[in-house]
Amino acid sequence: MSHDYQITMRFCPPPEDLRRYFTTFYVSEIDPGSAGVLHDSLHPEWAGMRIFSPIGPKSWNGKGDFIDNARFLTQGPSSNPIHFEMPKTRLWGFGLLPLGWAKFVRLPAAEFANRICDGFTHPGCEPFRPLAAALFGETADEPAELERLIAFFRSFPAKDPVDQNRILAIHAALVDPQVSTVQELVSRVAASQRTVERISYKHFGFSPKLLLRRQRFMRSLAQFMLDPSLKWIGAMDCHYHDQAQFVRDFREFMGLSPREYSSSPHPVLDRFIQERNKALASAVQTLDRPSGQGDLAA
């Protein structure tokens, strides 16, 4: 089917001193063409912030959050989709790795899990409003905007979290495809299960069990979106017992069946995943290593 929309994007790996805190910085220009808006849904991912110019999208989720034209859109870590209608706009975005959430937000991630908010009105986003207000100038200037973004976080008054080493150990275990049970994860972290659960809720947003299930699902979804010729059966992660289990997870994490998902257009996410994988060797945030990099940095 022909279309006249245009999407450009560029991924900018954070500098070395910020790499453990962010997935990537990226800039995108979206022109929906004659359609007026582009409809799509974000898959489960880490927390993130997106700053738009001149206008923001309509965004909503299954929790009842609905936001229209938020030029500073903030989300917590998610295990459900976030739907949006994207107008003609330009945006900068970045994902916060769990260590980044712990360092810069310093509020319980579980309180923000599966939530979206207008960063200009939500009290938890107040420290980041100067960045959102000053990021764009009168004309588009990508290098200057990126420098403002980096300078803001370099000067941000934040201390390293007390749980830093355990956050990194949990994250490293989560992105290892060989780790499939909570017991294996706890063993990798070398802490009690209670401690791992406390840190997971506080900095990752969810229980270790749900995080492992989300990883298994996202490995499957990313594989399919990178190569649909595999079909779902070929993209399904090896830790699934059978296809029925995968379908149950798909409905829980995306709110629809694999067949329904693959038959729907994903103009923004398809492009995003392909370009992200080319730039970072990591198609989606949840597969990023604790360094904020994909396989190329391993």
Same structural domain, 234 and 148: no
pLDDT tens column, 14-31: 999 999 999 999 999 999
Tens-place pLDDT, residues 237-260:
999 999 999 999 999 999 999 999
The confidence score (pLDDT) of residue 291 equals 81
User: Do 15 and 141 fall within a single domain?
Assistant: yes
The H or E element that residue 172 is part of is helix 164-174
3-state SS of the chain: helix, strand, coil percent to 5? Answer: 45, 20, 35
User: Where among 130, 154, 178 does a domain terminate?
Assistant: 154
**Residues spanned by the domain of 81:** 6-154
pLDDT confidence of residue 106: 82
* 115 and 14 within one domain: yes
175-228 pLDDT per residue, tens? 999 999 999 999 999 999 999 999 999 999 999 999 999 999 999 999 999 999
For 58, the enclosing helix (H) or strand (E) is strand 58-61
244/141 same-domain check: no
Q: Are 228 and 262 in contact (CB under 8 A)?
A: yes
Residue 42 pLDDT grade (very low, low, confident, very high; cuts 50, 70, 90): very high
**Residue 294 pLDDT more than 80?**
no
Same domain, 132 and 178: no
Indicate whether 1 belongs to any domain: no
Q: Domain end: 154, 172, 193, which one? A: 154
Average pLDDT value for residue range 65-92: 98
Residue 72: closest CA among 85, 45, 54: 54
Q: What percent of the chain has pLDDT over 70?
A: 97
In which order are the strands placed within the sheet that holds 58-61?
38-42, 82-86, 58-61, 66-68
When the pLDDT of each residue in the chain is averaged and rounded to a whole number, the result is 95
For the domain that residue 196 is a member of, what is the CATH number? 1.10.10.60
Does residue 282 fall inside a structural domain?
A: yes
- What's residue 162's pLDDT? 92
Q: How many domains, the chain?
A: 2
Whether residues 54 and 172 fall in one domain: no
pLDDT score of 298:
31
- 262-292 pLDDT tens trace: 999 999 999 999 999 999 999 999 999 998 6
pTM assigned to the model: 0.94
**Residue 35, pLDDT above cutoff 50:** yes
Question: Confidence class of residue 296 from pLDDT cuts 50, 70 and 90?
Answer: very low
Mark whether 106 and 190 lie in a shared domain: no
Q: Is 104 in the same domain as 199?
A: no
- Do 87 and 195 sit in the same domain of this protein? no
Same structural domain, 11 and 150: yes
- Identify whether residues 18 and 149 lie together within a single domain: yes
Same domain, 192 and 142: no
Amino acid at 84: F
> Last residue of a domain, which of 154, 176, 197?
154
- In the prediction, which pLDDT does 3 show? 83
Sequence-distant (≥ 6) Cβ neighbours of residue 297 within 8 angstroms: 281, 289, 291
pLDDT of 292: 60
The per-residue pLDDT for range 135-156, each reduced to its tens digit, is 999 999 999 999 999 999 999 9
